Structure 1
Amino acid sequence: MRFLIVRTDVRAAADVDIAAAWSGGGRLRDETTAPEPRRQVVHAEDRDAALHLARAIASVGAVRAGRQRVKVLPLDEPQHGWHGPTDGRGS
């Protein structure tokens, strides 16, 4: 499965916006309608490579300071879904 590793800026949120989202049960940020600005984008062919790259990107000072974040996003559908325990404990 292929992955996209993205380093983005963290958008600041006012205390009033946070309180409104918590009280209304809504989302403070919706990445589908207004994604955070991207700073760096890298592709990886497997999960191990993606996590290795994400750890390297996370060492950037702005990420460590909390001004940016690193996201690992799958680009393909998983090959096999998890169906629960097979020893009878799942029901």
Structure 2
Amino acid sequence: MGKHIPIRECICCRRKDEKQNYCRIVKTKEGFFVDSTHKKEGRGAYICPACLNDPALLKKRPLDRAFRQKVPEGVYAALADAREGKA
């Protein structure tokens, strides 16, 4: 048997893929962060690269649904930076 590969689902389009292919946003007691290591503690949500490039991401606000609360605009700005490879 091969090694287990964790599969995650995009909160925007519901596409399933390997965990390493997604951008993870995590909510901790300190706030929301883009988790590039995929190892931070806290509630996490995954967004696929195709949805990161979707200009309607800010309009759909999938993170608000995933975390069941209003997510600050700065998190969406951090996602834009992650999309451009800055984070």
Q: TM-score surpassing 0.5? A: no
Higher helix share: 2
TM-score (norm 2): 0.31
Structure with larger Rg? 1
Structure with the larger RCO, 1 or 2 (CA within 8 Å, 6+ apart): 1
